[in-house]
Amino acid sequence: METGQQFPEDVKSLLNSLIDGERIIYSVLGDIDEHGNFGERWLLLTTKRVIILNPSTRSVSQFP
CATH number reported for the structural domain that contains residue 48 in this entry: 3.10.450.40
Say how many domains are in the chain: 1
Q: Where residue 4 falls among pLDDT bands split at 50, 70, 90?
A: low
Alpha carbons 39 and 24: distance in angstroms, whole number:
22
Q: Specify burial of residue 53 (Cβ count, 10 A radius: 0-12, 13-18, 19+).
A: buried
Q: Is the pLDDT of residue 62 over 90?
A: yes
At position 52, the amino acid (one-letter code) is I
Q: What is the pLDDT of residue 33?
A: 82
Q: What is the pLDDT of residue 34?
A: 78
In-domain check, residue 4 = no
pLDDT in tens, 6-32: 899 999 888 887 888 888 999 999 999
In-domain check, residue 22 = yes
pTM: 0.82
Q: What is the pLDDT of residue 13?
A: 87
